[in-house]
Structure 1
Amino acid sequence: MFAAYLTGTLVTSVFTGTAATFYLIRHDYPLAQADAPIHVLGTAAGRGAGGGLILYFIGALAAHLRVGSRQLVGGVVFLALAAASLVLNLGSQTP
């Protein structure tokens, strides 16, 4: 069962990453599929992933605190990097 889970997760990751890349570079295939500015979908996926990472690391830090662990430096560093990436992504987009 674990092998099926791992395979499914890896395949989903590859497909999602490839689709986001095609949207962001405005590849001909996704452009032919829609009339809307397709790069917006890639941007939305990136922002969603950034927000998800932030929530993940907040949860990880909360779990560490809940069990009394004070080894928070790694989680704080990753949380700060995810937050900075999301802020830079939001700031780099033109309206």
Structure 2
Amino acid sequence: MFAVYLTITLLAAALNGMAAIANLISHDYPKSQADKLGVPRSWIRPLGVLLAAGALGLLAGIAVPILGTLAASGLVLYFLGAFAAHLRADDHHFAPWTLFFCAAVAALAVDLTCR
């Protein structure tokens, strides 16, 4: 079971880490998404910091289990907020969101199951 936990946690951390980097370096994709969803561009970097904290928390959770649980829970809440932003903007393009949300939920599920 630990191998499944480790695989899913590393995958979720990598996905969120890449998204965090994209936000922090002001890549065009986060900017276009913010514009489409009506999110102020000034929020892009703080949201990137939240994603980075979640990714680092998942990695730290391998050594300190409570950090992984808290990070995975935070990422689930983050992506529920992103879902609300998509609905508010009447944007029904959920493919990228689904990938990230499912990774966060899977990380939380295996964390709770494994510990």
Shorter chain as normaliser: what TM range?
Answer: 0.5 to 0.7
CA–CA distance in structure 1, aligned partners of residues 69 and 78 of structure 2 = 14
| Match status 1:62 vs 2:97 | no
Q: What stretches of structure 1 of length at least 5 have no aligned partner?
A: 25-41
Deviation at 1:72, TM superposition (A): 1.0
Q: What stretches of structure 2 of length at least 5 have no aligned partner?
A: 1-44
Give the paired residue count: 62
Residue identity (%): 34
Matches within 5 A, 1:25-40: none
2:101 to 66, 79, 88: 79
Instruction: From the CA coordinates, give the structure whose radius of gyration is larger.
Output: 1
CA RMSD between the two structures: 2.6
Deviation at 1:77, TM superposition (A): 1.5
Instruction: Write the letter of the residue equivalent to 2:107.
Output: S
Instruction: Write the letter of the residue equivalent to 1:83.
Output: V
Structure 1 stretches of 4+ moved >2 Å? none
Deviation at 1:61, TM superposition (A): 0.9
Are the counterparts in 2 of residues 61 and 76 from structure 1 also a CA contact under 8 Å?
no
Q: Please name the residue that 2:111 is paired with.
A: 89
Deviation at 1:73, TM superposition (A): 1.3
Instruction: Write the letter of the residue equivalent to 1:76.
Output: T
